[in-house]
A and B are shown apart, each in its own frame.
Chain A
């Protein structure tokens, strides 16, 4: 082989390698910069949750609390009135989050389970028998696309005015769905059903029909087939769907704000109440609540991270 050609090829290879390395450095620089943008607000929240009142709005801002304190957490986890040693001038009351935590857990779990149950069966029916026509799976998404404020106004009129009037006239008892667990669970179930149906459809579509067919031929009943073949195969999908819907409900704000007032208080509504606190914004307790609310959802989200793609691909991104 000619020496000149070898040298030229070697040089070209080196140039290529150098360019690749430069591109790799540039790529990581951009990605790390965005990672910094992502982490910064979260870091700030966690840092603030350990700051005492004087450090919340200091200039220049304290990136790490100079005197770390657990006071904010003591305030939000307090059961009754605060210990006098813990109370401060501006923030004397305890901001108990137990009620909000309990209500949110109750409403979100019930609504998610209900939606999962109904949605899975309908998804099975759609997948196997194309119930509701060819485009039913698309049209069902419409419900999700209606702006929630429109739903909130009509549901408010329905729950708070029409149902009480109707029940007073017909039964003689005034029953209001406004500010009740049943009312909130019902509306959460309906608004998350489209997502359950969509996600379960992608999972059920993947169960080969030949498998079911074989079981049917061997004499298994339809219920047996579902219990022994379909459900075990989509069980992990159901867990993913449940967690996803739970996160959606957990984060829901508008409907909870508008359809409940004093009685049922989910966490998001509770958080919003701090906004109008007479003493001004209480950044410390807010940050502590934010941290507490965020942790379970992020953990759940990271658990189902791999499957989230399916839920959002809406059936068009298949390999």
Chain B
């Protein structure tokens, strides 16, 4: 900041010259480097860093929102002890990882297969791409709604499944949202429906960027399609796979909207994700300082994942940067 202020031109009595001087100062490289950076960083500090510092402070107090703030007293690490010894918190965290793991794995497989098949199409590629990308653009809340309509006991999904179920002597009226395990799968299926389009998109762009000469050369030299796929295409697609895994798992771990829309964390706590658990603690039970402590714990758990993800992104990017002129 001091650096920029010293570069101001010496004020002169000539207003015109001063204006030109100001324009020149505005156009100087130093200003271009500093001003956007300061603005954005300032915004981040103001809205992310300061609230986090305050959150840490609140997490050290003993206070509930239904009492006045003045009655809060310093409690040390009491809240952290409460969080770390809270079984529900750890169960919700584990459940979040379970949902994310299952959903992301299935999304990657389905997305990869679809992208491979579509990339082999010639004329119908545009048609399939357009349809497959639609779920990604639909508001997650609306997706939750659609599935809450489809999952009702006398809904269309049970009607479609009925012939198969009757063949195995199972009651066709599956209670999708009130059976613990069915409810978990209901949420996973909704997530897969929506986000397979994203993995499909990433893989499709990966397939489109494959250097054709390499694949053709391998074929000319007598490689079977199977060999071409495993030895040439898959290694070249590694960056796309890494990106799909990182983006999807970071998003899947935030899972919240379908839980609120479909099950409210129930039946019991079988679909409570960690985001839903925290939301309930703070907004329903008003346990602010508990929530603050839990969010700090969660942030520490996540920051390791985030650093790992960023490291993977940078290491995937490096060869590209090296080859660029």
- The answer for the CA separation of A223 and B132 in the assembled complex, in Å, is 42
Could you tell me if B306 and A138 are in contact, using CB atoms closer than 8 angstroms?
no
Chain B, range 255-291, C-beta contacts under 8 Å to A: 256-257, 260-261, 274-275, 278-279, 282-283, 288, 291
A239 adjacent to chain B (CB < 8 Å): no
Could you tell me if B291 and A153 are in contact, using CB atoms closer than 8 angstroms?
yes
Main secondary structure of the interface of B (DSSP, over half): helix
A171 adjacent to chain B (CB < 8 Å): no
Could you tell me if B320 and A294 are in contact, using CB atoms closer than 8 angstroms?
no
Could you tell me if A190 and B145 are in contact, using CB atoms closer than 8 angstroms?
no
A42 adjacent to chain B (CB < 8 Å): yes
Could you tell me if A118 and B292 are in contact, using CB atoms closer than 8 angstroms?
no
Partner of B121, one of A27, A38, A190: A27
Nearest to A30 among chain B residues (CB) is B117
Chain B, range 188-221, C-beta contacts under 8 Å to A: 193, 197-198, 201-202, 204-206, 209
Partner of B149, one of A35, A121, A139, A283: A283
Could you tell me if A293 and B48 are in contact, using CB atoms closer than 8 angstroms?
no
Could you tell me if B136 and A190 are in contact, using CB atoms closer than 8 angstroms?
no
- The answer for the CA separation of A37 and B33 in the assembled complex, in Å, is 49
Could you tell me if B137 and A298 are in contact, using CB atoms closer than 8 angstroms?
yes
Could you tell me if B50 and A158 are in contact, using CB atoms closer than 8 angstroms?
yes
Nearest to B247 among chain A residues (CB) is A312
Could you tell me if B137 and A142 are in contact, using CB atoms closer than 8 angstroms?
no
- The answer for the CA separation of A34 and B23 in the assembled complex, in Å, is 58
Could you tell me if A189 and B43 are in contact, using CB atoms closer than 8 angstroms?
yes
Could you tell me if B54 and A157 are in contact, using CB atoms closer than 8 angstroms?
yes
Chain B, range 213-262, C-beta contacts under 8 Å to A: 239-240, 242-243, 247, 250, 253-254, 256-257, 260-261
A65 adjacent to chain B (CB < 8 Å): no
B206 → A minimal CB distance (Å) = 6
Main secondary structure of the interface of A (DSSP, over half): helix
A98 → B minimal CB distance (Å) = 18
Could you tell me if A31 and B43 are in contact, using CB atoms closer than 8 angstroms?
no
- The answer for the CA separation of A127 and B121 in the assembled complex, in Å, is 37
| Chain B residues, Cβ within 8 Å of A63 | 156
Partner of A190, one of B44, B242, B309, B317: B44
A238 adjacent to chain B (CB < 8 Å): no
| Chain A residues, Cβ within 8 Å of B250 | 144-145
**Interface residue total, chain A, C-beta cutoff 8 A:** 99
B181 adjacent to chain A (CB < 8 Å): no
Could you tell me if A161 and B202 are in contact, using CB atoms closer than 8 angstroms?
no
A77 adjacent to chain B (CB < 8 Å): no
Nearest to B262 among chain A residues (CB) is A275
Per-residue A-contact encoding for B146-172, CB less than 8 Å = 1, 0 else: 111110101110010000000000000
Take A298-B137, A308-B133 as given contacts and tell me if A153 and B295 are in contact as well, using a CB distance cutoff of 8 Å.
Answer: yes
Take A129-B33, A312-B201, A316-B239 as given contacts and tell me if A39 and B131 are in contact as well, using a CB distance cutoff of 8 Å.
Answer: yes
Could you tell me if B254 and A148 are in contact, using CB atoms closer than 8 angstroms?
yes
Per-residue B-contact encoding for A123-161, CB less than 8 Å = 1, 0 else: 011001101100100110111111111111111111001
Could you tell me if B36 and A121 are in contact, using CB atoms closer than 8 angstroms?
yes
Take A44-B150, A253-B257 as given contacts and tell me if A153 and B292 are in contact as well, using a CB distance cutoff of 8 Å.
Answer: yes
- The answer for the CA separation of A128 and B317 in the assembled complex, in Å, is 18
Per-residue B-contact encoding for A59-75, CB less than 8 Å = 1, 0 else: 11101000000000000
| Chain B residues, Cβ within 8 Å of A129 | 29, 32-33
Could you tell me if B142 and A293 are in contact, using CB atoms closer than 8 angstroms?
yes
Take A309-B205, A314-B313, A318-B209 as given contacts and tell me if A125 and B33 are in contact as well, using a CB distance cutoff of 8 Å.
Answer: yes
- The answer for the CA separation of A271 and B47 in the assembled complex, in Å, is 27
Take A153-B292, A190-B43, A315-B317 as given contacts and tell me if A301 and B136 are in contact as well, using a CB distance cutoff of 8 Å.
Answer: yes
A22 adjacent to chain B (CB < 8 Å): no
B131 → A minimal CB distance (Å) = 5
B174 → A minimal CB distance (Å) = 13
A62 → B minimal CB distance (Å) = 9
Could you tell me if A132 and B209 are in contact, using CB atoms closer than 8 angstroms?
no
| Chain B residues, Cβ within 8 Å of A9 | none
Could you tell me if A272 and B128 are in contact, using CB atoms closer than 8 angstroms?
no
- The answer for the CA separation of A139 and B209 in the assembled complex, in Å, is 26
Could you tell me if B317 and A287 are in contact, using CB atoms closer than 8 angstroms?
no
- The answer for the CA separation of A138 and B246 in the assembled complex, in Å, is 13
10 A–B contacts from the bound complex (CB under 8 Å): A37-B193, A138-B310, A146-B302, A147-B253, A149-B275, A150-B298, A150-B302, A251-B140, A251-B141, A283-B149
Which residues of chain B have a CB within 8 Å of any CB of chain A? 23-24, 26-29, 32-37, 39-40, 43-44, 47-48, 50-52, 54-55, 58, 69, 110, 113-114, 117-118, 120-121, 124, 128-143, 145-150, 152, 154-156, 159, 193, 197-198, 201-202, 204-206, 209, 239-240, 242-243, 247, 250, 253-254, 256-257, 260-261, 274-275, 278-279, 282-283, 288, 291-292, 295, 298-299, 302, 305-306, 309-310, 313-314, 316-317, 320
Which residues of chain A have a CB within 8 Å of any CB of chain B? 27-28, 30-31, 34-35, 37-42, 44-45, 48, 57-61, 63, 118-119, 121-122, 124-125, 128-129, 131-132, 135, 138-139, 141-158, 161-162, 165, 186-187, 189-190, 193, 197, 221-223, 247, 250-251, 253-254, 257-258, 267-268, 271-272, 275, 281, 283, 286-287, 290, 293-294, 297-298, 300-302, 305, 308-309, 312-319
Question: 8 additional contacts, CB 8 Å, given A44-B150, A146-B302?
Answer: A154-B295, A157-B55, A221-B27, A251-B139, A251-B141, A254-B275, A290-B142, A316-B242
